[in-house]
């Protein structure tokens, strides 16, 4: 990550200037940089990156919604699922990665404290947060649970095979930096980089002739020759080695339990459909698609669809079993049905559930991937 200090809280105009300046420094040194590096700086540059800014980026006043913004029902339903998974296990231990403002953690903890105090009293809740600034925001959100929540900077801070519990994330992996690859018949894959020309950031092929076969293979993109023969020139794929590495490292932490993510994404075969010839990389600002992902770095969200094939392969390489990949609507519906058998849903909860599960809202675009590791045998 780029290290940068800012003496005063910058204005919105300064954010553009500071991030653009940081990127220009990279380009002065290298000429052309990968889009993955551009995305890393734009989103995560300390203190001034998009996710480091203290404005409310999520919700009605921000640039995009998540399931958490619908209300506390989402956190309750996840808590119910976690309880079900932990029924025969040890005291519940949860590890959340990518906790954003801490709101989801607060919803989960609040519901457990009110409805299952015996579980809450033994609960261990950890948040993986590499940014000191975002950790401070989360600590403020979770001040009622001071002492109950613990933080670590990286999933690798947890020893291998040390966790009996659940590692989960909500809309985390779609913001991992991606490399943008283009197809050239007769030559193969090349990488699109970013350069500076005539006062703006522009796409340029990276000069190095890197061999992408191994990266694509690990991501699940083993294209048969007959497909390569008809693949149109300029077809774009985004690949995120960082996402696959993070998933594999998380899987390695589990001794027993589950690894779960909720995000929008596809199987490999879905990425290769003709309608996705331009890739899935998008920029969002004020709840709308921005026209150019290279414009105004630091002021718009950058995101690409998650490659679930890559994650499944990474988890299974660490010995996890793939329990399934479900649409969010299919994952949440049995949980809300169980809740409604206990008590009728309020009008507010009905609205929240509709937003979480309706195909025109969050129900079909978001998917839930769950992998697990059973308890190891007891040795005598």
The model's pLDDT over 47-61, given as tens digits with 9 standing for 90+, comes to 899 999 865 555 455
Q: How many degrees, rounded to 5, is the angle at CA 35 between CA 328 and CA 365?
A: 15
Domain positions in the chain: 67-176+242-264+305-372
pLDDT score recorded for residue 4: 33
Least confident of 47-61, 105-119, 147-161, 262-276: 47-61
Neighbour-count burial of 112, counting CB atoms closer than 10 A to its CB (0-12 exposed, 13-18 middle, 19+ buried)? buried
Mean per-residue pLDDT for 281-296? 81
φ, ψ of residue 43 to 5 degrees: the values are -90, -35
Taking the model in full, what pTM does it have? 0.92
When pLDDT is cut at 50, 70 and 90, the band that residue 238 belongs to is very high
Q: Domain 67-176+242-264+305-372 maps to which CATH number in 3.40.50.2300, 3.60.20.10, 3.40.50.12710, 3.20.20.140?
A: 3.40.50.12710
Mean per-residue pLDDT for 76-80? 98
pLDDT score recorded for residue 229: 94
pLDDT score recorded for residue 57: 59
pLDDT for residue 39 is more than 90: yes
Stronger pLDDT, 358 or 232, i.e. the higher one: 232
Q: What is the mean pLDDT of the chain?
A: 89
Distance CA 124, CA 164 (A): 11
The model's pLDDT over 164-194, given as tens digits with 9 standing for 90+, comes to 999 999 999 999 999 999 999 999 999 999 9
Distance CA 134, CA 364 (A): 29
Residue at token pair 């969010």: 328
pLDDT score recorded for residue 343: 93
Residue at token pair 């033994």: 122
Other Cβ atoms within 10 Å of 2 Cβ, number: 16
pLDDT score recorded for residue 63: 52
When pLDDT is cut at 50, 70 and 90, the band that residue 7 belongs to is very low
When pLDDT is cut at 50, 70 and 90, the band that residue 16 belongs to is low
CB 240 within 8 A of CB 304: yes
């Amino acid at each position: 990550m780029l290290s940068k200090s800012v003496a005063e809280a910058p204005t919105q105009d300064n954010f553009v200037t500071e991030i653009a300046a940081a990127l220009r420094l990279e380009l002065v040194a290298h000429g052309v940089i990968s889009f993955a590096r551009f995305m890393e700086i734009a989103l995560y540059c300390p203190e001034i990156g998009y996710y480091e800014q203290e404005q409310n980026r999520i919700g009605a006043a921000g640039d995009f919604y998540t399931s958490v913004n619908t209300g506390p029902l989402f956190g309750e339903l996840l808590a119910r699922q976690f309880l079900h998974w932990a029924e025969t296990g040890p005291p519940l231990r949860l590890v959340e990665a990518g906790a954003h403002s801490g709101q989801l953690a607060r919803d989960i903890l609040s519901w457990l404290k009110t409805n299952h105090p015996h579980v809450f009293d033994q609960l261990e809740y950890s948040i993986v947060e590499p940014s000191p600034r975002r950790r401070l925001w989360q600590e403020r959100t979770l001040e009622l649970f001071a002492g109950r929540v613990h933080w670590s900077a990286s999933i690798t801070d947890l020893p291998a095979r040390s966790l009996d519990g659940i590692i989960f994330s909500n809309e985390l992996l779609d913001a991992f930096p991606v490399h943008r690859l283009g197809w050239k018949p007769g030559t193969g894959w090349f990488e699109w980089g970013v350069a500076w020309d005539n006062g703006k950031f522009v796409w340029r092929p990276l000069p190095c002739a890197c061999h992408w076969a191994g990266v694509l293979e690990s991501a699940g993109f083993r294209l048969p020759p007959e497909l390569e023969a008809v693949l149109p020139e300029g077809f774009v794929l985004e690949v995120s080695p960082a996402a696959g590495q993070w998933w594999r490292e998380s899987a390695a932490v589990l001794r027993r339990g589950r690894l779960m993510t909720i995000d929008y994404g596809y199987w490999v075969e879905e990425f290769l459909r003709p309608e996705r010839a331009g890739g899935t990389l998008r920029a969002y600002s004020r709840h709308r698609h921005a026209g150019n992902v290279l414009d105004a770095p630091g002021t718009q969200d950058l995101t690409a669809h998650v490659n679930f094939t890559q994650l499944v392969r990474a988890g299974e390489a660490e010995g996890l079993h793939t329990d399934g990949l479900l649409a969010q609507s299919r994952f949440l519906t049995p949980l809300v049905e169980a809740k409604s058998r206990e008590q009728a849903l309020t009008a507010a909860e009905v609205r929240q559930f509709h937003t979480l599960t309706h195909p025109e809202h969050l129900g079909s675009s978001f998917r839930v991937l769950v992998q697990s590791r059973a308890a190891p045998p007891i040795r005598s």
